[in-house]
Chains A and B, each alone.
Chain A
Amino acid sequence: EDQVTQSPEALRLQEGESSSLNCSYTVSGLRGLFWYRQDPGKGPEFLFTLYSAGEEKEKERLKATLTKKESFLHITAPKPEDSATYLCAVQAGGATNKLIFGTGTLLAVQP
């Protein structure tokens, strides 16, 4: 069964304390993996797309990496404005052609 699991469910960091969020997946034929940020009361906002193992993307303090089984979202020296829920989504290939979202990691960065 196609599945996307994000961990931890919640993470509290001090400002400047770097960490990583995990997205592990089990799908038949990965077509793409997406990271989104969601602020309270708003729709998800696109961050990155990764298509193949070994690929990396960066944007400001965020860096996304991809292996054959999981993706990491690394946050370097986070600031309070990085506080949000981070969602991972995987596009499965084959007959299913499904876009499957994880349940997200709620990140709180304290000053």
Chain B
Amino acid sequence: EAQVTQNPRYLITVTGKKLTVTCSQNMNHEYMSWYRQDPGLGLRQIYYSMNVEVTDKGDVPEGYKVSRKEKRNFPLILESPSPNQTSLYFCASSLLPQGRGEQYFGPGTRLTVT
């Protein structure tokens, strides 16, 4: 089954404790993205990757890091989480470049930073 998986699905952590949210897709897609979704603000792109070792900042990259060492994986790293990073996070992948085709979204990771 074609899918994007994220782990963990739920995470509660404290300010400053480094964490990683994993994302994996089994569709051999070159393009992957991370989004955060907040009430009243919609989905906002954090980072975008066009291929292995190629990434670009989205609208809200501050406080986040990404890496793309393998085509299928695109982890999101929060080096020092803060309460304003409490949000619902989605990973997505696509066969075509951004804006040229559909994206497949993961199930989401709900992060709470206290």
Contacts and interface: CB of A to CB of B under 8 A. Distances in A.
Given A34-B102, A49-B102, A43 B108 contact: yes
B98 A97 contact: yes
Contact of B42 (A31, A41, A104): A104
Secondary structure dominating the interface of B: loop
Interface string A1-40: 0001000000000000000000000000001101010000
Contacts of B90: 43-44
A49 B95 CA distance: 14
Secondary structure dominating the interface of A: strand
A55 interface: no
How many residues of A sit at the interface, in one of the four size bands? Answer: 20 to 34
A101 B43 contact: yes
Contacts of B102: 34, 46, 49
A32 B99 contact: yes
Given A32-B100, A42-B108, 8 more contacts: A36-B105, A43-B105, A44-B43, A44-B105, A46-B102, A49-B101, A101-B43, A103-B40
Interface of A: 4, 31-32, 34, 36, 41-46, 49, 87, 89, 91, 97-99, 101-104
